[in-house]
């Protein structure tokens, strides 16, 4: 690790400690010491238990479950800034509130913009995140944002399966660009699913656009919440003659009853990264670590090197 620039330290919030420990192991450094003290009414206080004066401070924290983890992150950023850190980098494997990225009906908030403003106001000087729900969220920040892609770990895994007659599919039209990038890289056909929602998290109707007969299908998405869409798409693919259906998604939100739905579905395998801790019993689920991806990015940011060379596809 090149430490010829300024010293750097890595800290973690409560729910992302597992990720921070893996990142530190990859970098060969110790995880910084900090304390989070809770009060009886649910309020909490964060404090660094070692000096960060003049340091590059990297704070690893996903925002799921959303409210407490986001508040923890904001307080840690503020504490580091007030402790005279040279810079404060928020490392957010999962950036929550990203589904609210525009006004799609009257009188609603744009939560993704609000969260970006909160991070900057708290004192973040850079954000490192992965597979945002919408690429335009990068434009909400007036500080540097490094947007990583889980494809760098998913593509090698897909190739290791050595599937014949493979097609890439997307469970909704909104993810067509992401799925198309996978299909181009792997040089396989692309299939789309068109869905109509009755309301949030409830799919009313779904149609397959493309040929999946006698194909091994890989469904690509950025997150799975209740798993209603992804499992309905998998069942539909099998009804249309697919040999097998696997799905990959960067973020395992997996709100109940998602685990049961995946277990009961036609999916052969559900592949996630460990951006969010997922510990429920799901034999069909495979978790791939992205700690090395984030560690390498931290190393490159610290050494003022380009990070684009590690992208397979975007």
Average pLDDT over residues 48-75: 94
pLDDT of the residue at 203 = 54
User: Do residues 232 and 241 lie in contact, with contact meaning Cβ atoms separated by under 8 Å?
Assistant: no
Instruction: Give CA separation, 65 vs 22, 49, 141, 230, in Å.
Output: 20, 25, 22, 21
Q: In whole angstroms, give the CA distance from residue 182 to residue 157.
A: 13
Catalytic residues: 195
13 pLDDT above the threshold of 80: yes
Average pLDDT over residues 231-249: 95
| CA distance from start to end of the chain | 27
**Burial track 68-79 (b if 16+ CB lie within 10 A, e otherwise):** ebbbbbbbbbbb
Q: What are 168-215's pLDDT values in tens digits?
A: 999 888 888 999 999 999 999 999 987 765 565 555 678 888 999 999
Q: In whole angstroms, give the CA distance from residue 289 to residue 8.
A: 23
Q: What are 285-297's pLDDT values in tens digits?
A: 999 999 999 999 9
2 pLDDT above the threshold of 60: no
* Residue 175: strand, helix, or coil: helix
pLDDT of the residue at 246 = 98
Residue in the block written with tokens 């919440």: 225
Percent of the chain at pLDDT exceeding 70: 94
Q: In whole angstroms, give the CA distance from residue 227 to residue 218.
A: 15
């Amino acid at each position: 690790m090149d430490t010829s620039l300024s010293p750097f330290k890595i800290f973690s919030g409560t729910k992302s400690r597992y990720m921070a420990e893996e990142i530190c192991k990859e970098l060969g450094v110790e995880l910084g010491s900090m304390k989070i003290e809770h009060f009886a009414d649910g309020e909490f206080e964060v404090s660094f238990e070692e000096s960060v004066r003049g340091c590059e401070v990297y704070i690893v924290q996903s925002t799921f479950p959303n409210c407490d983890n986001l508040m923890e992150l904001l307080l840690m950023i503020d504490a580091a800034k007030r402790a005279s850190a040279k810079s404060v980098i928020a490392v957010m494997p999962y950036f929550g509130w990203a589904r609210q990225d525009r006004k799609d009906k009257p009188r609603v908030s744009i939560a993704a913009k609000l969260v970006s403003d909160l991070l900057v106001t708290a004192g973040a000087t850079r954000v490192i995140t992965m597979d945002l729900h919408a690429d335009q969220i990068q434009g909400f920040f007036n500080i540097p944002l490094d947007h990583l892609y889980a494809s760098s770990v998913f593509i090698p895994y897909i190739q290791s399966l050595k599937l014949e007659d493979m097609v890439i599919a997307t469970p909704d039209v909104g993810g067509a660009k992401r799925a198309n990038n996978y299909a181009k890289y792997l040089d396989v056909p692309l299939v789309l699913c068109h869905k109509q929602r009755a309301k949030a998290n409830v799919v009313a109707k779904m149609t397959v656009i493309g040929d999946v007969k006698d194909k091994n299908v890989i469904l690509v998405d950025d997150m799975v919440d209740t798993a209603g869409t992804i499992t309905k798409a998998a069942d539909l693919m099998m009804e249309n003659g697919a040999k097998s259906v696997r799905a990959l998604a960067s973020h395992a939100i997996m709100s109940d009853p998602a685990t049961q739905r995946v277990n009961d579905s036609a999916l052969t395998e559900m592949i996630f990264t460990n951006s969010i801790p997922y510990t429920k019993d799901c034999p069909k689920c495979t978790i791939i670590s992205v700690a090395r991806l984030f560690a390498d990015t931290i190393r490159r940011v610290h050494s003022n090197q380009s990070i684009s060379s590690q992208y397979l596809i975007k």
